[in-house]
Chain A
Amino acid sequence: MYLNLSWRNIWRNKKRTLIALASVFFAVITAVNMRSMQLGSYAYMIHSTARFYNGYLQIQNKQYWEKRSLENSILQDSLDFSRLKQVHHVLGLAPRLEAFTLLSFGNTTRVGQIIGIEPEQENKVTNLKTRLIAGEYLRQDDYAALVSKGLAQMLGLSLGDSLVLYGQAYHGQIAASLLPVKGIIEYPIRELNNSMVYIPLQAAQDIFLMPGRLTSVAIMIDENRHLKDVKEKVARLIPPHYRVIDWPTMLPELHQSIQFDNISGMLMLAILYVVIAFGVFGTIVMMISERVREFGILIAVGMKKTRLLIVTFGEIVFISLIGALTGILGALPIVYYFASHPIRFTGEAARSFDALGIEPVFNFSTDPTIFLNQALVVFLIALATFAYPIFFIKKLEPDKALRS
Chain B
Amino acid sequence: MALIKVENLTKIYNTTAVPVKALNNVSVEFEKGEFTAIVGPSGSGKTTFLNMIGGLDKPSEGQIIVDGVKLADLKGSKLVEYRLHHIGFVFQAYNLIPVFSALENVEFIMLLQGVPKKERQQRARELLEAVGLGDRLNNRPGQLSGGQQQRVAVARALASRPEFVLADEPTANLDSKSADDLLDLMENLNQKYNMTFIFSTHDARVIKRARRVVTLRDGAVVNDQTSN
Contacts and interface: CB of A to CB of B under 8 A. Distances in A.
Interface of A: 1-2, 5, 8-9, 11-12, 293-294, 297-305, 307, 397-399, 402-403
B99 A9 contact: yes
Nearest to A402: B91
Nearest to B58: A399
Nearest to B160: A302
Contacts of A298: 97
Interface centre among A303, A397, A403 (most CB of B within 10 A): A303
A302 B54 CA distance: 11
A1 B100 CA distance: 10
Contacts of B87: 302
Interface in B45-65: 47, 51, 54, 56-57
Interface of B: 47, 51, 54, 56-57, 77, 80-81, 83-85, 87, 89, 91, 94-95, 97-100, 104, 107-109, 111-113, 156, 160
Given A5-B97, A402-B91, A403-B47, 9 more contacts: A1-B107, A2-B111, A12-B98, A301-B83, A301-B156, A302-B83, A302-B112, A304-B80, A398-B56
Given A302-B85, A303-B80, A294 B94 contact: yes
A300 B89 contact: yes
A304 B57 contact: no
A13 to B, nearest CB: 10
Given A294-B94, A398-B56, A399-B51, A302 B111 contact: no
Interface on chain A toward B: helix, strand, loop, or mixed SS? helix
A71 B199 CA distance: 102
Contacts of B56: 300, 398-399, 402
A1 B57 contact: no
A300 B109 contact: no
B104 A1 contact: yes
Contact of A5 (B51, B83, B100, B156): B100
Contacts of A294: 94, 97-98
A99 to B, nearest CB: 80
A8 B99 contact: yes
Given A301-B89, A302-B160, A399-B57, A293 B94 contact: yes
Given A300-B83, A303-B80, A399-B51, A1 B111 contact: yes
